[in-house]
Amino acid sequence: MKSAILKNGKVEIIQKEMPSLKDKKGAIIKVFGSGLCGSDIVKINHSKDVDESKVVLGHEIIGEIVDINTNIAGNGDKTPFRTGDIVGMGHHFPCYECKFCLHGSHSMCENFKKTNIFPSGFSEFVYITEGHLKNTVFRAPKNLSYEEFSYLEPLSCCLRAIRRSGLTRQKDNSSYNVLVLGLGSIGLIMAQGLIAYKAKVFGFDINEKRQEFAKKFNIEFDPSVKYDIIFMTSGSHKALDSAIKLVEAGGKIIVFSSISTLDGYKNDDIYYKELSIIGSYSPEPRDLAESSEFLEEKKVNVEGFSTVYPLDKINEAVYDTKQGKILKAYIKI
């Protein structure tokens, strides 16, 4: 089968043995496609600093279960998975027993870090474990395209970040002015998630076309407002200064992007304004469940966000993503 690997800083398509269920429980998924995540771009950009043979690319998967040898139901579902099910999924799951899980930092759990799909989301077939089926796999709603449901995992990451900010669906969030800094695909789904949480949501991007596109979702920018919570969805170091200038005293900055720079938030800025700087990295299973709900009910609308590339054009997709030519790439397998 065809499978993507990272080699010499580029994505290379190789022939690889198809995964099987021999001597292990789980399922084989025929991959229809996978979104190209910003974290994939980071891995490619920093390929010189890592062991490329250990890098797994692609995790925003949608596909069909073509083989399964376990009678297990998914997260909150009473019906066991069967061959023929069309599913989306997350790629990691926690143990729920370690210190990190007990303290609510599930993405720091060692089990979370070591679990993954095999061999790569940009492959014709992948193997997933019983743990994935139980925690991170969801049947695709019939009202969504494959490209739309591939946002299951990235949206779940955003919803966890929203929870870590202190906002909940159970309380009135209308008194919070919230800013999303960076209006790429992640910024747009983050902002829509915040709207679903009934906060007052604003967004900013230096790219005027993206700023204009965001108006379709009632997302605009007001420079006169001081923001109670700022979500950093931009990878630009310039966003660091913008966040400090725009955050309200006593406010929160949610770090949701990787910025490779020596610059950072200054101690005195944090101290005198009593700011909270909170990182949010990856979701836990309940965030995936909420993501599936939000997508199916169109609380978050991603229709038309993705540009489709065939697998053999994946490096073109990487280039177009880096150049900001597209909002989001979906790699069709």
For residue 143, the model assigns a pLDDT of 97
Fold classified for 158-279: Rossmann fold (3.40.50)
Hey, what amino acid is at 207? N
Q: For the chain, first and last CA: distance in Å?
A: 11
**Contact of 150 with 199, CB cutoff 8 Å:** no
> Would you list the domain boundaries of the chain?
2-151+302-332, 158-279
For residue 259, the model assigns a pLDDT of 81
Vertex 243: Cα angle to 267 and 317 (nearest 5): 120
Q: Which helix (H) or strand (E) holds 265?
A: none
**Contact of 104 with 255, CB cutoff 8 Å:** no
Token duo for residue 181: 């800094």
| CATH among 3.60.15.10, 3.90.1010.10, 1.10.3720.10, 3.90.180.10 for 2-151+302-332 | 3.90.180.10
For residue 261, the model assigns a pLDDT of 67
Hey, what amino acid is at 327? L
The one-digit pLDDT tens for each residue of the chain (333 residues) are 999 999 998 999 999 999 999 999 999 999 999 999 999 999 998 887 788 888 999 999 999 999 999 999 999 888 999 999 999 999 999 999 999 999 999 999 999 999 999 999 999 999 999 999 999 999 999 999 999 999 999 999 999 999 999 999 999 999 999 999 999 999 999 999 999 999 999 999 999 999 999 999 999 999 999 999 999 999 888 889 999 999 999 999 999 988 876 678 899 999 999 999 999 999 999 999 999 999 999 999 999 999 999 999 999 999 999 999 999 999 999
For residue 238, the model assigns a pLDDT of 87
**Contact of 133 with 26, CB cutoff 8 Å:** yes
Residue range 97-150, pLDDT digits in tens = 999 999 999 999 999 999 999 999 999 999 999 999 999 999 999 999 999 999
Can you tell me the distance from the alpha carbon of 220 to that of 98, in angstroms, rounded to the nearest whole number? 42
Residue range 57-70, pLDDT digits in tens = 999 999 999 999 99
Token duo for residue 23: 């001597």
- Residue found by looking up tokens 């043979």 in the block: 53
Strands (E), the chain: 2-7, 10-15, 27-35, 60-68, 86-89, 125-128, 137-139, 177-181, 200-204, 227-232, 247-255, 276-279, 306-310, 328-332
